[in-house]
């Protein structure tokens, strides 16, 4: 049973849903002729359901009857033979937390087939599947996902070529959400990988890989990648590596070709000092933009134990590069720029002067396109553009901490040649067997020489982070203060995280975790604040009864964001062997930009075995 009320919107409404299910579950296990010939495991859930859904003030709900047919079927054939294969079919309903503050109900039907061929030359496996999911996220639009997948794996091991693997896959997909255009297409992926030892002691390893990805349909993109890597262990303390990478990518009508070569020499002086020298060359070309960079990295890392006092660690890094850019039209196109989006942090697009109308955000598998104003928002902060995920229940599909790929266009000077000098310093001191520690980080970047059009979009910065962390038994506390002094997008940020775990009784556990952050964007004078608190309690009342409760509060404020999110849940389980009872209650109260959602969800399950 679920009850939701939305107020303070243009059209306030109430939604009430009621569901009864009566199921008979049966299990069948057996074999045909012999277990090694074919064995079958069948679980069936058949029965009836009565559903009622009511939207006020528009529609009235009446109970509707229906049939239930859920199943879990697995059949395996010729298990002891080189050509063994299996077939399976599943239809299920799951109530799960997509993240702590969001519950979803997933109805899924999946058919799979797995086929293998074992031999000495080219072992092979083939996997096929067809799946359909319906995802209901409280008041969010219902999302439907259909996938038809095919995957082939081949491998070979030989003294001449080394280890070789080939994988080819295809996914024909359809994503349907009300009020949003359908997303459909076919994704094809091909990978060829080889590792060859060039010495009998395996101290010289050559790794080669080819990768191709093609996406057609609503969105179109492609990528071809060639990578060669040679790694040599000269001694136990000296290692060198040589790498060449070529990429040819197309997205949103833009094609970019990249060449990169780098070498690395790493030396470890006893256990304390590690040195790294890394020269590199990079060249990128597209129809509107070219970039050529030559430079090197130097890094020193020192770690020293100080007896009972603790441990001291420090590091220094230096990067110097000469770069020449040419933007033939003054506009550059960026494709598939990766970012991880987290609540309570600052995420800027890499390039300044972004045309926000050209921004496209997709999932890491490129199959889902996210929507501005529903899944994320963009803020102009001086010359930089900030991207933030929207955490309300009004349709967001980007989870906190998800990786996304972003395409966009940005304005730059037509021609520019400059050098970059970047330095970083790292200091950390841990005391009393890591009871607490203090740390300091400084990143500096400057451009001493600029030739050509004076480009005010080159970033000069001094980024300072100081902090302390404390770890005692089941208590963890971390604090950071960051001063990001930049000519493009300066900000000040404070972050605090706490976690406590303990056992009130031998049969129970109680956890608290919380995080707070405050970001002051100096160019726009906007202050962004984020706070969340989560608590969980679990106890075994007897060996047959369990009780659990959890609650969380999340608050976010800033330009275009005003969110208060409260959720609480309690559940009771009774397991007497043949008799099982599960009762759960969820409550949610969310206020987002003046619109309030109140949701009650009650779930009861009673099961009796005969």
Q: For 419-430, write each residue's pLDDT tens digit.
A: 999 999 999 999
pLDDT tens digits, 144-194: 999 999 999 999 998 888 999 999 999 999 999 877 888 999 999 999 999
Length of the chain (residues): 610
- Indicate whether 394 pLDDT > 60: no
**Mean pLDDT, rounded, for 387-415:** 82
Residue with the larger pLDDT of the pair 287 and 141: 287
Q: pLDDT for 584-600, tens place per residue?
A: 999 999 888 888 888 89
Note the pLDDT of residue 273. 93
Q: Which two tokens stand for residue 367?
A: 């199959």
Q: What are phi and psi of 382, to 5 degrees?
A: 65, -130
pLDDT digits (tens, 9 = 90+) for 25-57: 999 998 888 888 999 999 999 998 888 888 776
pLDDT for position 338: 94
Q: How many CA atoms lie within 13 A of 279 on its CB side?
A: 1
Would you say 470 and 435 are in contact if contact means Cβ atoms under 8 Å apart?
yes
Residues of 482-519 as b/e, b for ≥16 C-beta within 10 angstroms? bebebebbbbebebbbbbeeeeeeeeebbeebbbbbbb
User: What value does the mean pLDDT of the chain take?
Assistant: 91
* Beta carbons within 10 angstroms of residue 335's beta carbon: 20
pLDDT in the model for residue 396 = 59
- Residue 129 pLDDT grade (very low, low, confident, very high; cuts 50, 70, 90): very high
Integer Rg of the chain from CA: 29
Q: Express each pLDDT in 491-510 by its tens digit.
A: 999 999 999 999 999 999 99
pLDDT tens for each residue of 351-381: 999 999 999 999 998 888 898 888 899 998 8
**Residue 346 CB coordination number (10 Å):** 19
Is 70 exceeded by the pLDDT of residue 476? Answer: yes
Model pLDDT for residues 207-266, shown as the tens digit of each residue: 999 999 999 999 899 999 999 999 999 998 999 999 999 999 999 889 999 999 999 999
Provide mean pLDDT across the span 527-551: 95
pLDDT band at 62 (very low <50, low <70, confident <90, very high): confident
In percent, the amount of the chain with pLDDT more than 90 equals 63
Instruction: For the chain, list the domains and their CATH numbers.
Output: 240-302 (3.30.1300), 331-412 (no CATH)
> Which pLDDT value is given to residue 539?
96
Residue 592 · residue 562 · CB < 8 Å: yes
What pLDDT is stored for residue 117 in this prediction? 93
pLDDT category of residue 8 using cuts at 50, 70 and 90: low
**What tokens does 402 get?**
């998800």
- Rounded Cα gap, residues 594 and 557, in angstroms: 12
The mean pLDDT of 418-443, rounded to a whole number, is 95
Model's pTM, two decimal places? 0.86
From the list 321, 311, 332, the residue with the least C-alpha distance to 437 is 311
């Amino acid at each position: 049973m679920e009850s939701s009320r939305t107020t303070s919107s243009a059209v306030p409404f109430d939604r009430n849903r009621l569901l009864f299910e009566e199921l008979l579950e049966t299990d069948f296990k057996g074999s045909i002729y012999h277990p090694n010939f074919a064995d079958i495991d069948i679980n069936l859930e058949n029965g009836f359901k009565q559903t009622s859904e009511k939207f006020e003030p528009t529609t009235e709900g009446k109970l509707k009857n229906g049939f239930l047919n859920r199943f879990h079927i697995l059949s395996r054939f010729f298990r002891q033979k080189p050509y063994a294969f299996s077939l399976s079919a599943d239809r299920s309903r799951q109530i799960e937390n997509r993240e702590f503050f969001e519950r979803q109900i997933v109805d899924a039907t999946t058919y799979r087939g797995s086929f293998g061929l074992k031999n000495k030359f080219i072992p092979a496996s083939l996997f096929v599947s067809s799946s359909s999911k319906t995802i209901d996220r409280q008041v969010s639009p219902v999302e439907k996902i259909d996938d038809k997948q095919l995957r082939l794996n081949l491998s070979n091991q030989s003294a001449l070529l080394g280890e070789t693997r080939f994988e080819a896959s295809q996914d024909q997909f359809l994503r349907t959400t009300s009020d949003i255009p359908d997303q459909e297409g076919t994704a094809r992926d091909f990978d060829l990988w080889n590792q060859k030892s060039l010495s009998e002691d395996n101290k010289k390893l050559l790794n080669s890989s080819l990768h191709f990805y093609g996406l057609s349909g609503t969105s179109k993109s492609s990528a071809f990648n060639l990578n060669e890597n040679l790694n040599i262990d000269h001694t136990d303390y000296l290692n060198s590596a040589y790498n060449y990478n070529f990429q040819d990518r197309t997205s949103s009508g833009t094609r970019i070709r990249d060449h990169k070569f780098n070498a690395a020499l790493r030396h470890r002086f006893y256990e304390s000092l590690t040195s790294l020298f890394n020269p590199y060359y990079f060249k990128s070309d597209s129809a509107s933009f070219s970039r050529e960079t030559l430079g090197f990295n130097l890094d020193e890392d020192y770690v020293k134990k100080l007896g009972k006092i603790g441990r001291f660690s420090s590091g220094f890094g230096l990067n110097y590069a000469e770069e020449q850019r040419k933007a033939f039209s003054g506009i550059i196109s960026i494709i598939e720029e990766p970012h991880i989006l987290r609540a309570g942090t600052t995420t800027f697009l890499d390039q300044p002067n972004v045309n926000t109308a050209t921004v496209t955000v997709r999932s890491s598998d490129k199959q889902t396109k996210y929507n501005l104003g529903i899944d994320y928002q963009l803020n102009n902060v001086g010359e930089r553009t900030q991207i933030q995920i929207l955490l309300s229940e009004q349709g967001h599909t980007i989870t906190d901490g998800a990786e996304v790929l972003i395409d966009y266009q940005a304005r730059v000077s037509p021609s520019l040649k400059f050098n970059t000098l970047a330095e970083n310093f790292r200091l950390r001191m841990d005391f009393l067997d890591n009871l607490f520690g203090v740390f300091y980080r400084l990143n500096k970047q400057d451009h001493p020489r600029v030739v050509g059009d004076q480009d005010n979009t080159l970033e000069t910065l001094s980024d300072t982070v100081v902090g302390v962390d404390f770890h005692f038994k089941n208590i963890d506390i971390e604090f950071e203060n960051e001063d990001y002094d930049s000519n493009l997008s300066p900000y000040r940020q404070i972050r605090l995280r706490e976690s406590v775990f303990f056992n009130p009784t031998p049969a129970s556990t109680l956890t608290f975790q919380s995080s707070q952050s405050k970001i002051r964007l100096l160019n726009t004078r906007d202050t962004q604040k984020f706070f969340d608190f989560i608590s969980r309690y679990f106890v075994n009342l007897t060996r047959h009864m369990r009780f659990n409760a959890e609650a969380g509060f999340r608050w976010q404020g800033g330009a275009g964001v005003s969110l208060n999110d409260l959720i609480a849940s309690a559940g009771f389980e009774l397991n007497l062997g043949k008799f099982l009872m599960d009762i759960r209650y969820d409550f949610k109260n969310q206020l987002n930009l003046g619109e309030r959602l109140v949701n009650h969800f009650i779930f009861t399950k009673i099961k009796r075995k005969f």
